[in-house]
Amino acid sequence: MAAVRRRMIGVLNRLSTYSSTHVGFSTLSHRREAVYSICHKCAVLAVSCSSVRPEVGGQRHLLANNYQCLSLGNKMEMSQDSWSLPPQQGLYDPQNEKDACGVGFIVSIDGTRSHKIVRDAEKLAMRMNHRGACACDNDTGDGAGVLTAIPHNYYFHELREQHSIDLPPFRQYATGIFYLDKIHHADCEAQFTKIAEECNLKVLYWRTVPTNSAGIGEVARSGEPFMRQVFLVPSSPVPEEELQKQVFVLRKRATHKIPKPGVRFYICSLSNTTVIYKGQFTSDQLWRYFT
């Protein structure tokens, strides 16, 4: 056992040569490093589990500026970089620090519909690009999306001109985008249509969402879903509140009944008022992907 321990310590010493006294792990933002480090005792325990991670018993050991492992009390060196957190004092505890994604809201106070709101949202999202992480290919984001009121005029003209289908007035139908796969999507859509009928809803049309994957990362492209959009109408005229209840029940039932191993099925949104466009993008890729 002592020999194994000596070999582990030797590995750690070699690791420290490359890590400048600590091993950094990226946060949600890939442009800076977290202050998590591995103390000598912790790292030995981690390596014994074949995982060089700053965790023991599932808990990270955060090192404050006093160079002390707050969990085990082991003294060790740590660089005084600008991203280091201050030591625990008073009601402040650096272990409670967390990074978060950026969120922004843009509305028209008077309720006037305008494409400018979407363009302003694009600027807002792109200016928060630093809030998102990036994969090892340096071009795959950890996710970005936009929720907007259903663009009724666009959908109305698109379905009429391209597919000879007339949509009902706004708020009298529901729509949503689904993540499917090309092999099983027809079967999933058939199951969803059947469940919709059980909820007194009728599928008006399935539409393939126009996309352009040329600008997304390799990792995102390898797992890119087949995006389909559904349009639903009530089987018989109902008040809007009843339509919303039917759509809610449909989504819950479909989410529990349709997914199974090897079959991709995920509902991004399903509503009679809003629609969500999202994916594994950086915030600037989002606006170029959906065409």
**Active-site residues: which are they?**
101
Which structure tokens are listed for 213? 């994957």
In angstroms, the Cα distances linking 264 to 39, 158, 206 are: 42, 27, 17
272 touches 247 (CB < 8 A): yes
Residue 180: what are its φ and ψ, rounded to 5°? Answer: -130, -175
What CA–CA distance (Å, rounded) separates 69 from 66?
Answer: 9
What CA–CA distance (Å, rounded) separates 262 from 213?
Answer: 23
* Dihedral in degrees, nearest 10, Cα atoms 240, 243, 248, 251: -140
